[in-house]
Amino acid sequence: MSPSRQAAGQGPTANPTGSSLDRRRFLIVLGGAAAHAALAPHAAWSRKLGLPLPALQPWTLPADPPASALELARALVGAAILAPSNWNSQPWRMEVDGGSIRLLADPTRALPVTDPDRSGMLVSLGAALENMLVTMRAYGLRPTVRYFPAGDSRGPVAEVTWTGDEARRDRQLFAAIPNRRTNRRSYDGRGIFMQNRAALAAQMSEDLRLHWIGDRDQIRNVADLLQDATRAQVLDAASERERLAWMRFGDDQARERGDGVTVDDLELGGPARWFARRYFNPRSRFIGLGAGSAGKQAREAIGSSGALALLAAPRRTEFSCLTGGQAYERFALKATQLGIAHQPMNAAIEVERFRPDLARSFGAPGEHPLMLVRLGHAKRPRPSLRRAVALVASFRNT
C-alpha cells in the first residue's frame, strides 16, 4: 500500500483484476422489490394518468441508522447519489451485496469529449464515495475502502465494507449532505474568513494540494482566463454538442430524466436565457453569441467571488482523481455547514491548453488541477434532480 493510500486511511488498494464477483449474479431482488414498493403508489397513478414514473430521489436522509440491513444500504446509496457530478450526469452505479457496496462507473453517462481522460467522472465518483463514508461514520459504522484505481471503464472503482458499534462521527458533514448545492448565482464580493479557509483546507488529504486566491487583482486575472476558456469551450462544436445534451430546457424535461442542468439553474443572463437552445447549439448561427455570453458570465461570476480555491494533485492518476473527488465533497460539505456558497468552474481545466496558466496563476506550476472552485455569499439555489436509488443500485439477496 502506498503512503498516500494509507493517508486516505481507508484500507488497502486492490488489484483491479482482483474482482472475482460475477455481476450477472446480481439480482434486483430485495432492494429492487423494496424500491419498487416505495415507488408503487406513484407507479399506479402514473399508469392511470399515462404519466412517466417519477423515479426521483428526495433530498432527505434518515437521521439515525436504519435498523434493517436493506434500509441501511438504501440510505447509504441515497447519500451517495446526492453527490455533485459533472453536468449532473450522475455517472455511477452501485452493487449492494450484504455488507458491502461496490461503486462502478456508468460509461453511458460519461462526457468523452469534454472529459476525455475521465478525470471529471472519477471526481464525481469520489464525491459519491465520500458521501457514503460520511454517512457510515455518522451512523456509527467504521468503513473500509478498497480502491480499484485503474480498472476498466465499466468496472468497479471502489468497494466499501463496514463494521458497527463505533462512536458516531462526521455528523455535521452528514447533516450538510442534503443541503449542499452548486451555487451559480452572483456572489456579494465579501471575502472568506481565514478561520473558515483553514476549516476548508483541513478537509484535504495529504496527497492533495489546496491553493487560495483572495486578492482582487489575482481574482480578476483568473476571471479573464475563465472567460477565454469558456468561450473556447463553447466554440468547440463537438464538446458543446455533448454538453447541450445535458442541458434541460424546462423543469418537465428535467423531471422526466432526473439528471442534467436546467437553463434556469445555469443562471444565464440576458438573451442567452431565452434563446439557450440556439445560443448553445453548435449548428446554430447564434453560437458565437452563446460563446460570448457564456464567457462574460464566467468572468462576472469569478469576479463576484470572495475567494477562489484550486484543488490539485502533484500529478494526475485515476486514484488522485478519485481521492480528489472525496476531498472536494468534504470541502463542499464543510462550506455548506459554514454557510459559504460555492461553485466548481472547470472550463480552464477541461480545455487542456488553459491548464498550465491556471495552475501558474495559483502559484502551483506543474501540478494537475482537479477542481477550480469560487466561494462567496449568495442566496441558496433549489436542489438539482437525482435519479432514484432503485434506478442506480442493484441489491443481492445473500
Ligand X SMILES: Cc1cc2nc3c(=O)[nH]c(=O)nc-3n(C[C@H](O)[C@H](O)[C@H](O)COP(=O)(O)O)c2cc1C
Q: Which residues bind ligand X (CB under 6 A)?
A: 84-88, 120, 123-124, 127, 181-182, 184, 261, 343-347, 384
Half-sphere exposure of 181 (CA within 13 A, CB side): 20
C-alpha 124: how far from its chain's center?
4
Nearest distance from C-beta of residue 349 to ligand X, angstroms:
8
Nearest distance from C-beta of residue 384 to ligand X, angstroms:
4
Taking the C-alpha atoms of residue 29 and residue 274, their distance in angstroms, rounded to an integer, is 46
> What are the two backbone dihedrals, phi and then psi, of residue 344, each rounded to the nearest 5 degrees?
-70, 140
Nearest distance from C-beta of residue 113 to ligand X, angstroms:
15
- State which residue, 90 or 394, has the beta carbon closest to ligand X: 90
Question: Listing from the earlier edge strand, what are the strands of the sheet with 307-313?
Answer: 209-213, 307-313, 368-376, 341-344
Nearest distance from C-beta of residue 189 to ligand X, angstroms:
19
3-state SS string over 306-358?
A: CEEEEEEECCCCHHHHHHHHHHHHHHHHHHHHCCCEEEECCHHHHCHHHHHHH
Nearest distance from C-beta of residue 80 to ligand X, angstroms:
12
The DSSP bridge pattern shows strands 92-97 and 100-105 to be antiparallel
Give the cell for residue 264: 434556469
Structural element, H or E, at residue 368:
strand 368-376
Q: Which residues of 69-101 are buried (b: 16+ CB within 10 A; e: fewer)?
A: ebebbbbbbbbbbbbbbbbbbbbbbbbbbeebb
- State which residue, 39 or 110, has the beta carbon closest to ligand X: 110
Taking the C-alpha atoms of residue 188 and residue 60, their distance in angstroms, rounded to an integer, is 29
- State which residue, 92 or 147, has the beta carbon closest to ligand X: 92
> What are the two backbone dihedrals, phi and then psi, of residue 113, each rounded to the nearest 5 degrees?
-90, -45
- State which residue, 34 or 263, has the beta carbon closest to ligand X: 263
Sign of CA dihedral 54, 60, 64, 65: positive
- State which residue, 65 or 292, has the beta carbon closest to ligand X: 292
Nearest distance from C-beta of residue 86 to ligand X, angstroms:
4
- State which residue, 93 or 181, has the beta carbon closest to ligand X: 181
Residue nearest to ligand X (CB): 84
Query: What number of other Cβ atoms are within 10 A of residue 13's Cβ?
Result: 20
Nearest distance from C-beta of residue 328 to ligand X, angstroms:
7
- State which residue, 36 or 380, has the beta carbon closest to ligand X: 380
Nearest distance from C-beta of residue 263 to ligand X, angstroms:
13
- State which residue, 145 or 321, has the beta carbon closest to ligand X: 321
Contacts of 8 (CB under 8 A, 6+ apart): 145, 205, 207, 323, 326
